[in-house]
Amino acid sequence: MTIYIEPFGVEPNPDNVASLNPVHEELERAMRWADMLIAEATLEHQLNEVIDTTRVVPTIQSKGRRTRCLAWFSDPKEGHPYGWESREGEILQEMAFCAEDLNRSGPEIVATVLHEKVHKWCRALEIKDCSSSGWHNKTFKKHAEYLGLDVQKPKDAYGFGYTSPSQGLSIRIEKEFEPDIAKLMFHRTVRPPGSRVSTERKWVCSDTCATVYTRAKYKPFGGICHVCGQIYTEI
pLDDT for 69-83, tens place per residue? 999 999 999 888 889
Residue 111 burial by CB count (10 A; 0-12/13-18/19+): exposed, middle or buried?
buried
Domain match, 230 and 153 both:
no
Domain match, 42 and 89 both:
yes
What is the average pLDDT value for the chain, to the nearest integer? 87
Domain match, 55 and 150 both:
yes
Note the pLDDT tens digit of each residue in 187-223. 999 877 665 656 667 767 776 676 665 655 555 556 6
| Structural domains of the chain, count | 2
Distance from C-alpha of 3 to C-alpha of 58, rounded to nearest angstrom: 37
Note the pLDDT tens digit of each residue in 142-195. 999 999 999 988 776 788 999 999 999 999 999 999 999 999 999 999 877 665
Domain match, 219 and 104 both:
no
Q: Provide the domain limits for residue 233.
A: 198-235
Domain match, 38 and 103 both:
yes
Domain match, 210 and 94 both:
no
Domain match, 71 and 33 both:
yes
Domain match, 220 and 172 both:
no
Number of other CB atoms surrounding residue 219 within 10 Å: 7
Residue 84 falls within a domain, yes or no?
yes
Domain match, 139 and 216 both:
no
Residue 158 falls within a domain, yes or no?
yes
pLDDT at 231: 73
Domain match, 57 and 137 both:
yes
Residue 145 burial by CB count (10 A; 0-12/13-18/19+): exposed, middle or buried?
middle
Residue 190 falls within a domain, yes or no?
no
Domain match, 129 and 43 both:
yes
Distance from C-alpha of 2 to C-alpha of 59, rounded to nearest angstrom: 34
Residue 82 falls within a domain, yes or no?
yes
pLDDT at 95: 97
Domain match, 117 and 215 both:
no
Residue 182 falls within a domain, yes or no?
no
